[in-house]
Structure 1
Amino acid sequence: MYVQTHGEKDPERTATPFFLATAGAAMDNEVLIYFTMNGPQCVAKDNGTKIIIPRKGGDGKELKYFIDQALDMGVRLLVCQPSLDLHGYTMDDMIEGVEMIGGAAFNDLACTADAVIAF
């Protein structure tokens, strides 16, 4: 389980959970990313093309590149309901495939996960 707390204001911190989750799924692990605090900005419609991951000495990559890789590998994307409210989002604002869960469901998943890594 990866927990993403960063969003638009920290583009350099948005791709890593997707990258690591994709690698974990490629290793035949069940992997999910939980988006809380500013994290839902990463999976809001159109933000995948607006958030650019900077690269030293060159053009950056769109966050969508990393999102698509994760989805292709079967990574589950879960969003925190109160964090949607924080940003004025509804589930209609999220990309296809995002699931909403509450605090109790998050705690249950975290307690049964082999590892929880936060960004």
Structure 2
Amino acid sequence: MYSTSLRTAVLGLLLAAGLASAESPKKKDAKPTPPKPAVTKVPKTCADQCELLNTFCADPCNKIKNNEPAKAACKNNCTQMASTCNGSCKSKGKIDEKYMMEHIKVPKAPPGVKVRDE
């Protein structure tokens, strides 16, 4: 009598443990965390906007690897954009599209890159 009830109790515990593990929800893949916002405060002045422009332009340039001429050309273009932005702020008091278009020169291709005329 004891052996039958002992077997029943052990079997009941095993079944309960099996059901508990089968019913437990499986962990889903962790959701990727969103990237930190690049702009943490609203730019209030024209100079703040130009600084943001320079930052956003320079970030991709820093990620260029194994191509120093292309990296230098990218940084030069960013410097030109930032200086033109600052010039627009000084002369117009705002970032003026027409001023920017007149003063930004078409970037030169890095050495060794074939340019196709269109």
Q: Tell me which of the two structures has the higher relative contact order, counting C-alpha pairs closer than 8 angstroms and 6 or more residues apart.
A: 1
Query: Shared fold (TM-score greater than 0.5)?
Result: no
Q: Which has the higher strand share?
A: 1
Q: Which has the larger radius of gyration?
A: 2
Q: What is the TM-score normalised by the length of structure 1?
A: 0.24
| TM-score of the aligned structures, taking structure 2 as reference length | 0.24
